[in-house]
Amino acid sequence: MIIVMQENAPKQHALAVVHHVQELGLKPVLLEGTERNVIAVIGDERIMDMHVINSLDGVEKVMPVLAPFKLASKEHAKTKTAITVAPGVVVGGTQIAVMAGNCAVESLGTTLATAKAVQAAGAIIQRGGAFKPRSSPYSFQGLGEEGLLVLREAKKQTGMPIITEILDPRHVELVAEHADILQVGTRNMQNFELLRELGKVKKPVLLKRGMSATIEEFLMSAEYILASGNANVILCERGIRTYETATRNTLDISAIPVLKKMTHLPVIVDPSHAAGKRDYVGALAKAAIAAGADGLLLDVHPEPPKSLVDPDQALNFEQFTVLMVDIKKIAEAVGRTL
Amino acid sequence: MIIVMQENAPKQHALAVVHHVQELGLKPVLLEGTERNVIAVIGDERIMDMHVINSLDGVEKVMPVLAPFKLASKEHAKTKTAITVAPGVVVGGTQIAVMAGNCAVESLGTTLATAKAVQAAGAIIQRGGAFKPRSSPYSFQGLGEEGLLVLREAKKQTGMPIITEILDPRHVELVAEHADILQVGTRNMQNFELLRELGKVKKPVLLKRGMSATIEEFLMSAEYILASGNANVILCERGIRTYETATRNTLDISAIPVLKKMTHLPVIVDPSHAAGKRDYVGALAKAAIAAGADGLLLDVHPEPPKSLVDPDQALNFEQFTVLMVDIKKIAEAVGRTL
Amino acid sequence: MIIVMQENAPKQHALAVVHHVQELGLKPVLLEGTERNVIAVIGDERIMDMHVINSLDGVEKVMPVLAPFKLASKEHAKTKTAITVAPGVVVGGTQIAVMAGNCAVESLGTTLATAKAVQAAGAIIQRGGAFKPRSSPYSFQGLGEEGLLVLREAKKQTGMPIITEILDPRHVELVAEHADILQVGTRNMQNFELLRELGKVKKPVLLKRGMSATIEEFLMSAEYILASGNANVILCERGIRTYETATRNTLDISAIPVLKKMTHLPVIVDPSHAAGKRDYVGALAKAAIAAGADGLLLDVHPEPPKSLVDPDQALNFEQFTVLMVDIKKIAEAVGRTL
Amino acid sequence: MIIVMQENAPKQHALAVVHHVQELGLKPVLLEGTERNVIAVIGDERIMDMHVINSLDGVEKVMPVLAPFKLASKEHAKTKTAITVAPGVVVGGTQIAVMAGNCAVESLGTTLATAKAVQAAGAIIQRGGAFKPRSSPYSFQGLGEEGLLVLREAKKQTGMPIITEILDPRHVELVAEHADILQVGTRNMQNFELLRELGKVKKPVLLKRGMSATIEEFLMSAEYILASGNANVILCERGIRTYETATRNTLDISAIPVLKKMTHLPVIVDPSHAAGKRDYVGALAKAAIAAGADGLLLDVHPEPPKSLVDPDQALNFEQFTVLMVDIKKIAEAVGRTL
């Protein structure tokens, strides 16, 4: 940690900071500059609270040297983590993991038809929301537990593992009983009570980036789950909020190489929610794979206009099948398989 | 709702949209333009899902005419809502309601000293967090229930009502038993499970704007609480996330007149979290009152550098007392009292 | 254009709007709704100023139906525009056009070495800045005219056409004499005096998106050049400003499919300025081609740390050569050549 | 400057950085940490290019200690700068300087009527645009030189000094001949060729913040003018671009106290362009004065709906007069006069 003193701060302020650092068991080095004094801290600064330092007399700013997360960092695990979701179904390996299905579970008929169609085209995990976070209290809120049973029945017939969303710490046990991957949505990325509960579960958790979360905050939320005991975290970039309104969100494609540099965890992309419009999903899906993503989460529906949630971004079966052919080519161009 | 067809969409696509609107019991008007066709919908469009319309063949875009919230709107309640928190303590009346205290409850001594100091300077509600949402799992997470008891003891001695944060739907009953206002933080603005539970409580709820929420989304979250049965919602602007890093967040001062135009609910401002730096809190607090805010939420601590949470933004007692004198002058300049 | 009246606006306000629209020679349709009145305008609304309408008594909001640009739109030219920069050098055809070189021209030696290296690896246009916009007045500002002569000499030896930046309307004639493509940087996207001057030139113009410009504003700036008489405009996405600081800018990868839908003009991407860090340039370059970009603009330097401008984002010759092999594979996967 | 090495960087990389710093005549201090090595640089780091350092082998990140501007900093001038625009007309003194008038000059009649009305209400400088930057090439572009003559005639009759916009380095001489303050608009904040020309003029320059410029970039643009020889720079916050669309821009009210802390230059606010809607202008104007602004720039028009530019944000004479009474009260509450 680097502590910059104000230009006109008296020497005793700097000395008080030095003393404070020593009391924490770290080693301060006072650098008396021509323009202002700076204190460098040697040791694991993560035990210090930068806001406390920042509030000491005479301190102008505090600059951390280390990232605040540990278990999520490359320093903790030097090799890429691959997560086994079910026998033969791995996220973070050589194969691109495509998770596809209805945004919300509607009925067994729709779920099953979709599961079979996406499996035939190459998807290895079926998605479907039973509990849905909706921005309006007047919108369809999901089938709840009944939706989980529908997914389970579809799994029985197709053998595809299930990814489904979890909204409430009170539902963790129930959802973990049925699902193979528990998905935390963008609005809950900093629902720390929920993250802590998910740390107690053994099932993999797919954590979506908050729509205005920095990459560092994203990894800190992953750290919550890891630190609570669950090592199986999959990160998902799904678009961030910017001033641009041509798309629902702005897919932060750069997050893929940045995350690959900072963490050992697998990284997938949700082009459906990023685009918010069917026409743009394909281009974003292909870009994600070209940039190094380990997988995709895609909305597919037999008749998108009849989808109860987000109908404008779902692909129909034919569109999905055509896209998978294109994705396979890109995957091979970057040395992956589909 | 206005539905714009694509330039080259065949007439039958427009007719299918017309048919769809009629089936919903609304009245469509097809306008055949020189450049493209447009369908205007007459009736309460809020029963339609604009995403469904958007996904119909040939539709280019859908533009809602009405705001999606009802109970929070000025159309629902034409006069400003004033919320009585305790006998003689009102938010949304002529008096500016100042809520001040420690960001996190630390001990009875600190809480009590702070409560007395802020009360002497003119605050009417004491703040203090017992459950704290922290971006790092390694940071102090609050005293929990013990913190609530500390607040209660301080209330006993000072008579000041309590505002405290609620993070988890499982804690609603407990927190409502002790607190006079339940505060929903920025990270939980779209924690819909929590909002629904708060709708069942009779205590006032202070809802903070999500750090990247639009004003419309903010009001939709208020609508969740209102629609679930609790009419006592106080809105709180606390800064939004932008590219500027000189302050922790960017206080959206314009949100005050915009909200005043759109809703009957009271609007307060949290300049401490917006600024993130003590030096800027005063200017923002004064600006908020000048712009028409009904109150303020302020971090105050006897020794800010020793504060366990957000020490860099808390005011000490003297700074708070001086600021209250300034705020009183601004309040009077805009026809309010303190 | 759709004009929404305020809920409580008296009928005569709506009639005054109707009258105003008629006077402009357009056809108004008054729709009396259950919640509020709406006036739909039939005809080419682009002759109306929506701000004027917005300021009429009783108007709540105005929603345009048509995009405000014409010449840049797909409605103006249904087929994709391919721009011939030099004999056999086309931007917007099947071949991916790679433009590469030093961010700033430094010397003939460096320029020539770079031009030869990038040409050998498959680039078809050499980049190099003679006039440089620098955020600090104390930084190197470019070689000016001397830099143009250096580029010209390199062109003589390699045959590669030149792209270089133009900052000042007073330099248009000079730069157009030497360059094959005139580049407008992100800070000048709305320097309308400059855009107008570039409309009078016959050389192609590469227009970079402003760092906080919407896609619509971007196309309006292209419209300035087109409307001033120059039909040869190449669009360049180079990253937008968001709250995320892990990269210099956030590459808006979605802009590629969105622009492809809205305009006939070619679209290229500058991954070097988007990333701002060498390590991320390759992933972004590959993503751009996968998403459908027509070309790339890349910073390359024999010894990046010695580059006078933006040394942290330039690739060295070997990195560029390896990247071009990867790009070739992606290009082929999406049916293009390199 | 603090240079953080990568975790696994070999010692010789750190030593090479140390050597590089020494060669620049500065003093490096190598701090060998438990987690990674850090090099602190003692001396005036502003002679170093942080991008060069960033590109050296093994460097992870570079953190500047000093702000990159000098002449604009509080360290350069410890006392607040007050700028005399005309005899008795000062910006940056105790009196709040209100600049008001038509957004664009339309005719002598309108200009004169407006000048007289705003003067009667307490404005001390008249605004009016002769050269207008318009996002559409099809919009009214201003009267040009004729507009300057109109402003001059109004000045002759009222005695009020003139502020008007400058767009093109070729117009500097002409505009400086007629205007008392030359205004640089948000789109030209980084038009460095223009800034340099304005440095050669002796008239005050009002520099508007770029709509996505950081406060540091804003001050760097001021530095361009100062470093080119013109010490009379007035800063103007006018709203930044964010995701919120309820207002045209988001007024960054925090920029006022932040700028007051960082620079000695006067700071004014343009609430008209920030809000973009008449109804919100008053609240923002009052907030700006409460937060410590030295003045306001306001759009006023005898009949706003007939204004040729930005009619939806102009106040009419009565609204302006009423607002000035309110502003006077706020000014007095913060110890200023109007």
User: What's the pLDDT tens digit per position in B231-290?
Assistant: 999 999 999 999 999 999 999 999 999 999 999 999 999 999 999 999 999 999 999 999
Q: Chain D contacts of A33, Cβ < 8 Å?
A: 42-43, 65
What rounded mean pLDDT belongs to chain A? 93
Residue C52 confidence (pLDDT) above 90: no
State the pLDDT confidence band at C54, using cuts at 50, 70 and 90: confident
Contact C246 A240 (CB under 8 A): no
User: With DSSP H G I counted as helix, E B as strand and the rest as coil, what are the percentages for chain B, rounded to 5?
Assistant: 40, 20, 40
Within 8 A of A7 by CB-CB distance, chain D residues are 75
Q: Does D40 contact A241 at a Cβ distance shorter than 8 Å? A: no
Q: What is the pLDDT of residue B173?
A: 95
- Residue C90: pLDDT band (50, 70, 90) is very high
* Distance between CA atoms of residues D182 and C206, nearest Å: 31
Per-residue pLDDT reduced to its tens digit, A222-276: 999 999 999 999 999 999 999 999 999 999 999 999 999 999 999 999 999 999 9
B248, containing H or E segment: none
The mean pLDDT value for D174-192 works out to 96
Q: Specify the pLDDT at position D130.
A: 94
Q: Nearest 5 degrees, angle CA B76-CA C1-CA B43?
A: 35
Closest partner residue to C29 among B31, B43, B245, by Cβ? B31
Residues of B with Cβ-Cβ distance to A280 under 8 angstroms: none
Mean model confidence pLDDT for chain D: 93
**Residues D312, D318, D320, D325, CA torsion sign:** negative
For residue D116, the number of C-alpha atoms closer than 13 Å in the C-beta half-sphere is 10
Q: Edge-to-edge strands of the sheet including D59-63?
A: D27-32, D37-42, D2-5, D59-63
Asked if D63 and A2 come within 8 Å (Cβ–Cβ), the reply is yes
Sign of CA dihedral D272, D276, D277, D280: negative
- Which of D20, D54, D238 to mutate to probe the C interface, most C CBs <10 Å? D54
Nearest residue of C to residue B211, measured between CA atoms: C243
ipTM value of the model? Answer: 0.94
Per DSSP, helices labelled H in chain C are 11-23, 50-54, 108-121, 145-158, 172-178, 192-199, 215-227, 255-262, 271-275, 278-290, 317-333
Tens of pLDDT, residues D16-34: 999 999 988 888 989 887 7
Q: Alpha helices of chain D — where are they, by DSSP H?
A: 11-23, 50-54, 108-121, 145-158, 172-178, 192-199, 215-227, 255-262, 271-275, 278-290, 317-333
What interhelical angle do A108-121 and A317-333 show, nearest 10? 30
pLDDT computed for residue C133 by the predictor: 87
Bigger pLDDT: A50 vs C186 = C186
Mark C114-126 as b/e (b = at least 16 C-beta within 10 Å). bbbbbbebbbbbb
* D265: helix, strand or coil: coil
Cβ–Cβ < 8 Å for D256, B279: no
Give the tokens for residue D143. Answer: 């009267």
Residue with tokens 């009423």: D322
Secondary structure class of B312 (helix, strand, coil): coil
A89 forms beta bridges with A86
Across the range C279-300, mean pLDDT stands at: 98
Cα separation, B338 vs B94, whole angstroms:
9
pLDDT (0 to 100) of residue C41: 87
CB pairs under 8 A between A and C: 133
Which residues does B contribute to its contact with C (CB < 8 Å)?
2, 4, 7, 29, 31-36, 38, 40, 42-44, 63, 65-66, 75, 241-243, 245
The verdict on a CB contact (< 8 Å) between A283 and C216 is: no
- Distant-in-sequence, close-in-space partners of B164: CB < 8 Å, separation ≥ 6: B105, B127, B128, B129, B130, B131, B147, B148, B151, B175, B178, B179, B181, B182, B183
**String of b and e for D183-214 (b: at least 16 CB within 10 Å)?**
bbbbbbbbbbbbbbbbbebebbbbbbbbbbbb
Q: Which has the higher per-residue pLDDT, A17 or D50?
A: A17
- How confident is the model at residue C56, as a pLDDT? 86
Cβ-nearest to A254 among C247, C330, C332: C247
| Residue A55 burial (CB count, 10 A) | 23
* Mean pLDDT of all residues in B87-99: 97
Interface contact D241-A245, CB threshold 8 A: no
Q: Which of D35, D42, D241 sits opposite A31 (nearest CB)?
A: D42
Contact B284 D291 (CB under 8 A): yes
Residue C47 pLDDT grade (very low, low, confident, very high; cuts 50, 70, 90) = confident
- CA-nearest of B205, B202, B201, B276 to B238 is B276
State the pLDDT at residue A140.
81
- C225/C195 Cα distance (integer angstroms): 6
Mutate to test the interface with B, among D253, D272, D328 (most CBs of B within 10 A): D253
Q: Which DSSP string do the residues of D277-327 spell out, in sequence order?
A: SHHHHHHHHHHHHHTT-SEEEEEB-SSGGG-SS-TTT-B-HHHHHHHHHHH
The phi and psi torsions of A12 (rounded to 5 degrees) equal -65, -25
Taking 90 as the threshold, does the pLDDT of residue C126 lie above it?
yes
Question: What DSSP string runs through C100-148?
Answer: EEEEE---HHHHHHHHHHHHHHT--EEEEESS---SSTTS----THHHH
Give chains near A: 3+ CB pairs under 8 A: B, C, D
Instruction: Determine the Cα–Cα distance for residues D338 and C250; give it in Å rounded to an integer.
Output: 44
Mutation target for B interface from A47, A56, A138: give the one with most B CBs within 10 A.
A138
d(CA A299, CA A302): 10
With contacts defined as CB-CB under 8 Å, which chain C residues touch A326? 333-334
B/e letters for B117-134, b = 16+ CB within 10 Å, e = fewer, are: bbbebbbbbbbbbbbbbb
Task: Give the whole-angstrom CA distance, residue C92 versus residue C295.
Answer: 8
Residues of chain D with C-beta less than 8 angstroms from the C-beta of C224: 137
What is the percentage of chain C residues whose pLDDT exceeds 70?
Answer: 100
Chain B positions touching D291 (Cβ under 8 A) are 283-284, 286-287, 290
Q: Which of C246, B136, B248 is nearest to A214 (CA)?
A: C246
The separation between CA A255 and the C-alpha centre of its own chain, rounded to angstroms, equals 10
Q: How far is C116 from chain A (nearest CA, A)?
A: 27
Q: How far is D95 from chain C (nearest CA, A)?
A: 32
Backbone φ and ψ of B67, nearest 5°:
-65, 150
CB D87 within 8 A of CB D330: no
Which of D243, D258, D261 is the best residue to mutate to test the A interface, defined by the most A CB atoms within 10 Å of its own CB?
D243
CA nearest neighbour of D59 among D108, D10, D23, D106: D10
Residue B175 in 3-state DSSP?
Answer: helix
Tens of pLDDT, residues C147-158: 999 999 999 999
The bridge status of strand C37-42 relative to strand C59-63 is unpaired
Average pLDDT over residues C22-30: 89
Residues of D within 8 A of C167 (CB-CB) are 191-193
pLDDT at D103: 92
Closest in C243, C279, C284 to A214, CB measured? C243
B334 is written with which tokens?
């805009």
Hey, what amino acid is at A10? P
Answer yes or no: is pLDDT of D35 > 80.
Answer: no
CA distances from A140 to A144, B26, B212, C318, D235 (A): 11, 20, 24, 55, 50
Instruction: Provide the shortest C-alpha distance from residue C328 to chain A (in Å).
Output: 9
Q: What angle do CA A256, A258, A262 make, to 5 degrees?
A: 115
Contact yes or no for B286 and D290 at CB 8 A: yes
Residues of chain C with Cβ-Cβ distance to B65 below 8 Å are 2, 4, 33, 35-36, 38
CA nearest to A274 within chain C: C254
Residue D214: its chain B contacts at CB < 8 A? 243-246
Q: Do B227 and A137 touch (CB under 8 A)?
A: yes
How, if at all, do strands D59-63 and C83-86 pair? unpaired
Amino acid identity at C312: D
Q: How many CB pairs under 8 A join A and B?
A: 110
In this model, does residue D138 exceed pLDDT 90? no
Q: Residues of B with CB below 8 A from A227's CB? A: 137-138
Q: CA–CA separation, D315 vs D300, rounded Å?
A: 5
3-state secondary structure of D86: strand
Q: Using CA atoms, how far apart are residues C244 and B243, in angstroms rounded to an integer? A: 7
pLDDT of residue C238 exceeding 90, the answer is yes
Integer-rounded Cα radius of gyration of chain D: 23
Q: How far apart are the first and last CA of chain D?
A: 44
Of C258, C279, C292, the CB nearest to A257: C279
> Which residues on chain A are in Cβ contact (under 8 Å) with B228?
137
Q: What domains are there in chain C, each with its CATH number?
A: 2-63 (3.30.70.1140), 83-333 (3.20.20.70)
Query: Which pLDDT score is estimated for D52?
Result: 82
Q: Which residues of A touch B191 (CB under 8 A)?
A: 187-188, 191
**What residues pair up with B299 in beta bridges, in sequence order?**
B101
C208, pLDDT greater than 80? yes
- The owner of tokens 């009360």 is B119
Instruction: Mark yes or no for CB contact B137/A223 under 8 Å.
Output: yes
In the 8-state DSSP scheme, what is residue D30?
Answer: E
From chain C, the residues in CB contact with D188 under 8 A are 191
Cβ-Cβ contacts under 8 Å, D241 against chain A: 243
Residue C80 has pLDDT above 80, yes or no: yes
pLDDT confidence band for C33 (50 / 70 / 90): confident
| Confidence (pLDDT) at B186 | 97
Q: Could A65 and D36 be called an inter-chain contact, meaning their C-beta atoms sit closer than 8 Å?
A: yes
- Position A96, amino acid: I
Amino acid, single-letter form, for residue D278: R
Cα of D273 vs its chain's centroid, Å: 13
Provide mean pLDDT across the span C111-122: 98
> Which whole-number Å values give the CA distances from C9 to A101, B74, C6, C13, in the listed order?
47, 14, 5, 6
Q: Is residue B87 very low, low, confident or very high in pLDDT (cuts 50, 70, 90)?
A: very high
Strands D59-63 and D125-129: unpaired
Q: What is the mean pLDDT of chain B?
A: 93
Spatial distance between the Cα atoms of C291 and C253, rounded to a whole number of angstroms: 7
Percent of chain D with pLDDT over 90: 74
Q: Which of B7-21, B313-327, D34-48 has the lowest mean pLDDT?
A: D34-48
Question: Is pLDDT of D134 > 80?
Answer: yes
| Best CA proximity match to B285, nearest among B263, B268, B300, B264 | B268
Instruction: Report the residue from C275, C291, C329 with minimal CB separation from A283.
Output: C291
Question: What pLDDT score does B61 carry?
Answer: 86
Per-residue pLDDT, averaged over D64-81, amounts to 88
Instruction: Report the residue from A4, A40, A245 with minimal CB separation from D38.
Output: A40
Residues 6+ apart with CB under 8 A from D8: none
How near does any CA of chain A get to the CA of C292, in Å?
7
Region A37-63: mean pLDDT is 83
